[in-house]
Amino acid sequence: MTGRASAHPQLALNVRLRDDSAFDNFLAARNAEAFDRVVAFAAGAPGPPGLLYLWGERGAGKTHLLEAACRDRHARGERCVYLPLADAGQFAPALLEELEQQALVCLDDLDAVAGERVWEAALFALIERAKASGARLLVAAAANPRHLGLVMPELRTRLGAGGVYQLHALNDDEKLSALGQRARQRGLELPAEVAHYILARHARDTHAVFALLDRLDRAALAAQRRLTIPFVRGFE
């Protein structure tokens, strides 16, 4: 322990290490093949098809891979965009216009617009334009194209024409590894017993676990404390 929590917690300055989604902080585990495909696809490895489709439950790593792909392509000096369709309520299908001019378009949470004809038509049109321009589309959703509830069969078959990969959530041991890796990336010391404690006492889906780690990091920084079981318990 480096110090005691003061009565007036210090404001946590934005000096934490960035741990945004990247390929090198993705724990592939059972998803090794899908991961390999996404890395090659994002890098623009030659060969058809121009659309890769990922599906799986919440916390399986879909968003992580899409954001990482976007980051990777951008670092190569090419244009790319990530679209969270779960927020489609705030957007309009016009958002998809001209996106075929990007090298890579990542479409997350496609299930959020499945069944909405205007969005489906706009997605269909984007796929057709991307085919002509050579842009690549990396798509993620909660189910595979056959079971998304799409109203346009033309869209369904196009989504299934590239590779379709299911992503599987991590098991508890893998979550422990992922938690440790995420903490190291933040320059945070996370003893094994604290990691076990977090998984035993809190929600175990990776989103929730990483969000908790983020809050703990900020709180520990503000309180100038190490991460210990009493600190985590006091944080609850």
Partner 1 sequence: MGPSSLWNKCLIQLEEELTAQQFNTWIRPLQAVQDRHVLRLFAPNRFVHDWVKERFAERIASLAKQNHGEPCAISIEVGSLGAAAPVGLSPSPVPSGPASVRPAAGGFVGNLSPDHTFDTHIEGKSNQLARAAARQVGENPGGSYNPLFIYGGVGLGKTHLMHAAGNLMLERNPHTKIAYVHSERFVADMVKALQHNAINAFKKHYRSLDALLIDDIQFFSGKERSQEEFFHTFNALLEGQRQLIITADRFPKELTGMEERLRSRFGSGLTTSIDPPELETRVAILINKALLQGVVLSEDVAFFIARHVQSNVRELEGALCRVIASASFTGRPIDHELANESLRDLLAFRDRLVTINNIQKTVAEYYKIRVSDLHSKSRARQLARPRQMAMALSKELTSQSLPGIGDAFGGRDHTTVIHACRKVAELKTSDSRIKEDYSNLLRILGV
Long-range contacts of residues 183-190, Cβ cutoff 8 Å, at least 24 apart: 183/213, 183/227, 185/17, 185/19, 185/25, 186/16, 186/17, 186/19, 186/213, 186/217, 187/16, 187/17, 188/213, 188/217, 188/220, 188/227, 189/226, 189/227, 190/227
Sites for partner 1 among residues 61-100 (CB under 8 A): 67, 70-71, 74, 79-84, 91-92, 94-99
DSSP 55: E
Cβ at position 208, least distance to partner 1 in Å? 8
Q: Extract the tokens encoding 179.
A: 């938690």
Cβ at position 165, least distance to partner 1 in Å? 5
The yes or no reply on residue 25 touching partner 1 (CB under 8 A) is no
The yes or no reply on residue 200 touching partner 1 (CB under 8 A) is yes
Which residues, 6+ apart, have CB-to-CB distance to 181 below 8 Å?
Answer: 25, 27
Closer CB to partner 1, residue 1 or residue 200?
A: 200
The residues binding partner 1 (CB under 8 A) are: 14, 18, 20-21, 32-33, 36-37, 48-49, 55-57, 59, 67, 70-71, 74, 79-84, 91-92, 94-99, 101-102, 106, 121, 124-125, 128-129, 132-133, 142-144, 146-147, 153-154, 156-158, 160-166, 169, 172, 200-205, 208
